[in-house]
Structure 1
């Protein structure tokens, strides 16, 4: 019988093709997922090819926009927003309206793994080598567990802990890792450069001073606004723009201590306090267009909420995948207590507002669970930075030592997330040679 589907998916694929799969010199097709799942994946075929010139002659490189992202079919659902219900009420409304939408239910790592094997089939590749970063390591575990016979080898860059049945564990792990890098790496950098920042040479004292200066709720919210609207949080994944993050720490302390020393009572205006912090930033470190964009975003976020209920659209592929992939602990009670515990060890995470409400998945039922990896799970190399904020050391180490047929390459004293290409022989050479079976 010929299938007659009423709905289909568009899945956009990008291939850097160098050799026919039936050529005697053909080695493999590298199938790539950049993580997220949020950013479009199409550019990464060319990027990974450029980073692995020794593979080019015998290897093809393929990536794709995961369903719900970029040039592939977009998934969205409508829900009823009621301003009286607050943030938690909005999350409950999204879960109630979206969790049973058939299109939304297909945004899972399981379905994406089937998409990936179908891509392999369409390209005529008898098997593939998989390269996945961040969430792509979680996805890769599904892929390797479902289709081990169709995979040569896999590289996991900056790995989640894939030994769980859902991604619930990922939140607390990331929060702890984020604050760890802030406290250890960034504070140490500022302390080593006291001549530039004037905050002393004791990293622990600078950390304590930062949170003392931003202790008041109004000013803590203002600091969080500056971190999120300037894009400075990106420094915790790539580390190269650490001067931007250090500048924010310096000026948040300066403004917070200035307010504490003044006789002026708090005004209840976090946006105004955030604007004063932005005024202090050195344009040579944080460019003026970036500051202007931050002001505009803060102004937009500070607009009054609608007075009446309204219909809104939700289209977060990240949330769809995270919530669909396995059952999270349901209800607000557990998460309220969990967020309070996390706030004690992750004060920057709290300042960023990430602990203000339970996660969306707390109201999202799911019957899926990560499949147990088989004994013939593909041979896998895990690359992990020691002070990675987004997928912390504990996560990568567990995956690199507990998955069958898996090895761990640890980069000591490094905080970058998504380490390859790293730019050193000690990391890039093993990663490049691994698909060749060396």
Structure 2
């Protein structure tokens, strides 16, 4: 999961934090632009290059690393140019180069007035060096996530310890020590400086919204406009946030069961959510005893169906795979989905995810606390609690020293547009309300009943047109009093499967 350890109460006000950091980035080398290899950027006519930045900004003349950067130039006359639009897809650990092409998806050519900048954050993708710990860690035949015996629990703890040790062994320890959110935020300001921009616009998704919050706290005078889609709750980074996610993902799986039941004429898995859930549980029990095809066991099964909690647009794909598995014995489709959805072989993304989350804040190092908290959460979220616990468990043993999170304070940022669906599992809606409080210049678009995460623009005119208007003119809807959304839009309709 794009998992989000209770926010330590910061002893410094935002202004004092900002003064503890450089007001601007260190002198940045120019980016030498050339052709891209990413297919999305090639198709969009993008250009790519590398930016050299300090590994440790407190020692700018020391080790250097390189950030992979992509750009799609503005398409309007220079007189109508509105500046740099920096983007981030979240994770942490997500490659962001391709997001340079996102501007073309906005209605009314609203993205044409900007230079759209995507980048692979430090340690990610084609940035140099890229983190990797154990590329086989998420391979098939893993132990059951559900630790019903002491032996299973100890097996997973040993796996988690080994992964953390492999990260220490296979990567520069100085890089592991400087993978925090604040390091990437300083990189963002280095990109701004390298592009010669006095201010940047920013479009962040999921964990990318946390980068935006911290950037707006540390460099508020550098923010022109900001769009935050599916906002991280800064109070919960990152241990508690993951426990909160578990509840949302199990809830959304239940909503998906109801959707499958609605289309029983297509899937033939039951006419009620309860009936579909019984079939789901029966199959889970069978593959726990004997993995289908020797590869699809309970871990792979849950990894695939986690997607039902993320994106409604994947509901038909999951319904089709579920029906084929049950009605035709087709486990190969499930295997393909497991590999396609990134649970398999994505060691770089996972390594960066841990390197950031485990060091942004100190996670509990007493496993007894993890055990108690996760079993308590399990009573309400039995499907995904232990999946998520083991995903994060290397933080118990992480080899780099943790810091303290920035006290997010957006009072210096004039203009933010936020979007969130109210049943978002990965970044619960309460986080958007909290960030709206901290950013008095923010306006929130809420989508009541929506369960999808970080997908704008996606053809919802009510939402997309407001984003486009904001980027074109800077105009925000009126902010309303109280702890609520300022504007509401219906989410996109639930998908209809082919064959109805």
What is the TM-score with the length of structure 1 in the denominator? 0.77
Counterpart-to-counterpart distance in 2, 1:342 and 1:422: 33
Counterpart-to-counterpart distance in 2, 1:4 and 1:366: 21
2:288 is matched with which residue: 204, 209, 218?
218
**2:474 equivalent in structure 1:** 437
Counterpart-to-counterpart distance in 2, 1:250 and 1:57: 43
8 Å contact from structure 1 (residues 382, 399) kept in 2: no
The 1:56–1:250 alpha-carbon spacing in structure 2 relative to 1, beyond 3 Å, is closer
The 1:198–1:75 alpha-carbon spacing in structure 2 relative to 1, beyond 3 Å, is closer
The reply on whether 1:281 has 2:330 as its aligned counterpart is: yes
8 Å contact from structure 1 (residues 227, 248) kept in 2: no
**1:414 equivalent in structure 2:** 450
Structure of greater Rg: 1
The 1:64–1:356 alpha-carbon spacing in structure 2 relative to 1, beyond 3 Å, is closer
Superposition CA RMSD, Å:
3.7
**1:18 equivalent in structure 2:** 74
Counterpart-to-counterpart distance in 2, 1:73 and 1:12: 8
The reply on whether 1:360 has 2:394 as its aligned counterpart is: yes
For residue 291 of structure 1, report the CA deviation from its aligned partner. 7.5
Counterpart-to-counterpart distance in 1, 2:339 and 2:352: 25
The reply on whether 1:290 has 2:336 as its aligned counterpart is: yes
**2:11 equivalent in structure 1:** none
8 Å contact from structure 1 (residues 76, 313) kept in 2: yes
The 1:292–1:113 alpha-carbon spacing in structure 2 relative to 1, beyond 3 Å, is closer
The 1:226–1:13 alpha-carbon spacing in structure 2 relative to 1, beyond 3 Å, is closer
- The range that moved more, 47-56 or 147-156, is 47-56
Local SS of the residue matching 1:382: strand
8 Å contact from structure 1 (residues 383, 419) kept in 2: no
Counterpart-to-counterpart distance in 1, 2:250 and 2:90: 21
Counterpart-to-counterpart distance in 1, 2:371 and 2:298: 20
For residue 109 of structure 1, report the CA deviation from its aligned partner. 0.9
**1:383 equivalent in structure 2:** 419
Counterpart-to-counterpart distance in 2, 1:415 and 1:190: 15
The reply on whether 1:326 has 2:395 as its aligned counterpart is: no
Q: Which runs of 5+ in 1 are unaligned?
A: 256-278, 301-311
**2:155 equivalent in structure 1:** 86
Local SS of the residue matching 2:234: coil
The reply on whether 1:227 has 2:326 as its aligned counterpart is: no
8 Å contact from structure 2 (residues 93, 350) kept in 1: no
Counterpart-to-counterpart distance in 1, 2:396 and 2:223: 34
The 1:98–1:63 alpha-carbon spacing in structure 2 relative to 1, beyond 3 Å, is same
- The range that moved more, 9-18 or 130-139, is 9-18
User: Which deviations, in whole Å up to 9, do the C-alpha atoms of 1:178-218 show, x marking residues without a partner?
Assistant: 1111002x112112112223343322343255336645793
The 1:41–1:291 alpha-carbon spacing in structure 2 relative to 1, beyond 3 Å, is closer
User: Which deviations, in whole Å up to 9, do the C-alpha atoms of 1:335-372 show, x marking residues without a partner?
Assistant: 0111111221112215x744458622233441221233
Counterpart-to-counterpart distance in 2, 1:71 and 1:93: 25
